[in-house]
Structure 1
Amino acid sequence: MAMNDYNMNAFPTTIDAPREETASLLAKVLGITSLGFLITAIGVATAPPWGTLPGLIIVFGLVFGISFTRKASPTLALGLFLALTYFMGWQIGPLIQHYIRNFGPGIVFNAAATTAAGMGVMGCIAYLFNINYRRIAGIGFAALLLLIIAGIASMFFRFLSPDMFSWLTLGIFSLLTIGDFARIRAGGDGRSAVSLALSIYLDAINIFLAVLQLMGGRRSRS
């Protein structure tokens, strides 16, 4: 993406689609995302203990598949998205089962409820204020790249604690979530409902895992 994509003057923050159109798009995105979370729950319940790495590889492959098919075949893109949500359950399933064994199912429920409430608040913020979603996306992805680099470096130098990493993850994906909801409010920026649902879904998954880590760390110290 060209650097001038983040220019505030070149891309004003006003809504560029009728309210009825954005409401319909939001309904489609939330419907697809909600179905995805339901399938992820099934994936978590059926995940084998060794499912993390295969799930990660398959999820990455399906993300690329969706990016190539979202315009040519929206139906196929939707099918790939639903498959992705199942294998995301494989990827995160062993971790969630670890928390359930050590702290009980309540911690997972609380993390999921906190994530849902937070997503609702961030959606309201995006719809109440004019937000330059392109600038938010640029800042968020740059911060995410730096966090990934810092996380890798911290594996060797131990300067980033798990809680600090989780707080930074939570902040970055909260920013990206606001940007993604603002994009929907502005009409989707030419993206399909499946592509937008994928962004919201991945935001929520990362926020959920960060919240779960923070809750687990607090219980471990108590």
Structure 2
Amino acid sequence: MENNNPNYVYDNVIQIDDASASRKFLANVFLWMFIALGVSAFCAYAFATTPSLLRLMVDENTHGLSGLGYIAMFAPLAFVLLIRFGLNRLAYPVLALLFVAYAALTGISLSFILLIYTAGSVLSVFISSSLLFGVMAVAGYTTSQDLTKFGSIMIMGLIGIVIASVVNMFMHSTGLDMLISYIGVAVFIGLTAYDVQKLKRIGAGLEYGDATAKKYALMGGLTLYLDFINLFLMLLRVFGRRR
């Protein structure tokens, strides 16, 4: 699981009722999300199907991760933190470059799933994830019910998943791993609706404090990207067929 909290605090915002501005903002958010998914998918496929690239990730002597392999596995979290805390300090092109680099590293780290699971099951789970994500995104956008309290519950569930995952690293319990996966699917389905509603409100005409609207759209794209990637990984753990 990508153990990166996909929820961010958008400080110093003033909401104005502007449906056109909200739609434009969300269009930019989803554009960034799709760009990141495209970069990740390309990198994952390239490294999984090119032996010379795969050898860069695995030490031929120890058959463990190489230096690049460890970077690909652990650097994405550093990139997320850098983007989050650099939102008001870094220029928009720098943030965009960091986001693309983060998506590329995430894709490289995900290349291993194409070696563990069959291509057919990865594709079917990806399609299922896309449909679930799309349905919940539409639900979050169209519902008139305030999902703030519901989102808080989902965030607490996310924290619980992270803690349980760390504990299971030592327990190696198959049953607990499957329970975490099922709960994770529910949590990220819920977070998708909550985050889309939150981003809709943010985009409905805001004064952004020190950050520009473009920066917030990029951050929103990162939020939804993480929701989708984690939903995909959780579903893969439940329904993926191993080679």
- Common fold: TM-score over 0.5: yes
Give, in whole Å, the separation in 2 of the partners of 1:42 and 1:212.
19
2:87 corresponds, among 70, 73, 86, to: 70
Give, in whole Å, the separation in 1 of the partners of 2:165 and 2:144.
33
**Is the 1:131–1:179 Cα contact (8 Å) retained in structure 2?**
no
Identity of aligned residues (%): 20
- 1:92 equivalent to 2:110? Answer yes
Counterpart amino acid of residue 55 in structure 1:
A
SS of the residue 1:186 aligns to: helix
Runs (5+) with no aligned partner, structure 1:
6-14
Give, in whole Å, the separation in 2 of the partners of 1:159 and 1:41.
28
**Is the 1:170–1:210 Cα contact (8 Å) retained in structure 2?**
yes
**Is the 2:141–2:193 Cα contact (8 Å) retained in structure 1?**
no
SS of the residue 1:64 aligns to: helix
Aligned residues: 201
Give, in whole Å, the separation in 1 of the partners of 2:108 and 2:191.
24
**Is the 1:169–1:207 Cα contact (8 Å) retained in structure 2?**
yes
Aligned CA distance change for structure 1 residues 82 and 157 (closer, same or farther; 3 Å): closer
Give, in whole Å, the separation in 1 of the partners of 2:94 and 2:153.
31
**Is the 1:71–1:192 Cα contact (8 Å) retained in structure 2?**
no
**Structure holding more helix per residue:** 1
Aligned position for 1:144: 158
- 1:210 equivalent to 2:210? Answer no
Counterpart amino acid of residue 88 in structure 2:
K
1:178 corresponds, among 193, 206, 216, to: 193
Alignment of 1:9-158 (within 5 A): 16-47=16-47, 48=54, 49=57, 50=65, 53-72=70-89, 73-99=91-117, 103=118, 105-154=119-168, 155-156=170-171, 158=173
SS of the residue 1:138 aligns to: helix
CA shift for structure 1 position 89: 0.8
CA-atom RMSD, angstroms? Answer: 2.3
**Is the 2:139–2:193 Cα contact (8 Å) retained in structure 1?**
yes
CA shift for structure 1 position 130: 2.5
Aligned CA distance change for structure 1 residues 203 and 16 (closer, same or farther; 3 Å): same
TM-score (norm 2): 0.74
Aligned position for 1:10: none
Higher relative contact order (CA 8 A, sep 6+): 2
- 1:194 equivalent to 2:218? Answer yes
SS of the residue 1:192 aligns to: helix
TM-score (norm 1): 0.81
